[in-house]
Amino acid sequence: MHILIAGGSGFLGSYLADHLAENGIDVTLLTRKPKKQQAKNHIKIVYWDGKVLRLPPIDKAIDAVINLCGESIAQWWTPSAKKNIRDSRIIPSKTLVNWCRTTEKKPKTFIQISGIDFYQLDSEQCTESDACGDTFLAKLSKDWEETTNPLQNTPTRLIIARLAPVLAKTHPPLLPLLLATRCFLGSIAGSGEQYFSWIHHQDFTTIMQRMLQDSQYQGIYNVCAPHPIPYKTFMETLADVCKRPLWLKIPDWILKKLLGDMSSLILDSRNVLPHKLLAQDYAFQYPEIHQALTQITEKK
Ligand SMILES: NC(=O)c1ccc[n+]([C@@H]2O[C@H](COP(=O)([O-])OP(=O)(O)OC[C@H]3O[C@@H](n4cnc5c(N)ncnc54)[C@H](OP(=O)(O)O)[C@@H]3O)[C@@H](O)[C@H]2O)c1
């Protein structure tokens, strides 16, 4: 197989590219900063600007495209930041979809990343059939997903992966929480009762590979572990595996004052379930948070 990953230089893209390459799959990474990337066995780096896609002559046609582009949402949501967050998703996505429709040999699969913030937050459990919310991120996720509409009813199999925060010790959201906890500064944000949906990075890469290789996968998927937990339980578990006390509480009004709209990333409840993955018998390697955090934090 030959997979094109846009946004492949980032946290998820590099984990995924390495995982696919280790499994003998050829990967071409699209990036705006090719000098910062290192070509590896099975991994080729190609420049693009996100607006136009012209691939150099390649000996192996592209079988699938994975779109992971998007500027980080963990920044102050000023009007210009919101525009950048939006444009960095919508524009590359339209470029990739247009390329898929017009290239001579059409890719068999297109995987579009989206987020679980698509849903109405603070609601009860959400599954794939639940409606879109009305927050900035919900509306953005909807518009982002809709850029792929031109691929509906084409030979390209379309998958939309509504992804939960991916846990790995090297990257947010876990990295800052892990560092704070190890320094005895772990804290419970707000009431701590808000739900936290999550996924271990190994499940993320395995699910992506499954979606590429198994044509039964099609349409919208919540890509999250089957057991979301209250934020308080998440922090207590992290403190437990790090063998540290958890004594700090940060009231929600302080977080709202400090972070503005962005505080919703921590304070809103995300109780999302992977109904479709379970229905297709995906067996999670890390279904429970204690097991996931123990594996991630153990010294290798
Ligand atoms: N990490 C998570 O837990 C998580 C959870 C849910 C959803 N997601 C979504 O998954 C995607 C990848 O997340 P990540 O954590 O890997 O992010 P990341 O580390 O910040 O990487 C983002 C990638 O997007 C590319 N990019 C940014 N702006 C771009 C633009 N204007 N045009 C073209 N490419 C652009 C960057 O490529 P270059 O700078 O090399 O061009 C980079 O490779 C994001 O859209 C994110 O919202 C992530």
Task: Map out the domains of the chain as residue ranges.
Answer: 2-167+198-225+272-285
Relative to beta strand 219-223, strand 199-200 is unpaired
Q: Which fold has domain 2-167+198-225+272-285?
A: Rossmann fold (3.40.50)
Among 22-26, 57-61, 93-97, 232-236, where is mean pLDDT lowest? 57-61
- 88 CB within 6 A, ligand 1: yes
Cα 129 to Cα 4, 54, 125, 132, 275, distances in angstroms: 29, 36, 11, 9, 9
Nearest protein Cα to ligand 1, atom 17: 10
- 133 CB within 6 A, ligand 1: no
Closest of 136, 32, 26, 120 to residue 85, by C-alpha = 136
Dig out the tokens for 93 from the structure: 């996505």
- 71 CB within 6 A, ligand 1: yes
Closest of 224, 223, 244 to residue 235, by C-alpha = 244
Is pLDDT above 70 for 74?
Answer: yes
What's the CA-to-centroid distance between 124 and ligand 1, angstroms?
Answer: 29
Is pLDDT above 80 for 122?
Answer: no
What's the CA-to-centroid distance between 213 and ligand 1, angstroms?
Answer: 23
**What confidence tens digit (pLDDT) does each residue in 242-277 have?**
999 999 999 999 999 998 888 999 999 999 999 999
What's the CA-to-centroid distance between 169 and ligand 1, angstroms?
Answer: 18
Confidence of residue 226 (pLDDT cuts 50, 70, 90): very high
What value does the mean pLDDT take over residues 62-81? 95
- 69 CB within 6 A, ligand 1: yes
What's the CA-to-centroid distance between 12 and ligand 1, angstroms?
Answer: 8
| Spatial distance between the Cα atoms of 180 and 171, rounded to a whole number of angstroms | 14
Using CB atoms within 10 A of its CB, is residue 126 exposed (0-12), middle (13-18) or buried (19+)?
Answer: buried
Nearest protein Cα to ligand 1, atom 18: 10
Is pLDDT above 90 for 59?
Answer: no
- 107 CB within 6 A, ligand 1: no
What's the CA-to-centroid distance between 71 and ligand 1, angstroms?
Answer: 5
Confidence of residue 123 (pLDDT cuts 50, 70, 90): low
Average pLDDT, the chain: 95
pTM: 0.96
Site to substitute for ligand 1 among 31, 69, 162, most atoms within 8 A of C-beta = 69
DSSP letter for each residue of the chain: -EEEEETTTSHHHHHHHHHHHHTT-EEEEEES-GGG---BTTEEEEE--SS---PPP-SS---EEEE-----S-S---HHHHHHHHHHHHHHHHHHHHHHHHSSS--SEEEEEEEGGGB-TTSS-B-TTSPB--SHHHHHHHHHHHTTGGGTTSSSEEEEEEEPPEE-TTSTTHHHHHHHHHTT--EEETTS-SEE--EEHHHHHHHHHHHHH-TT--EEEEES-S--EEHHHHHHHHHHHTT----EEE-HHHHHHHHGGGGHHHHS---B--HHHHHTT---S--SHHHHHHHHHS--
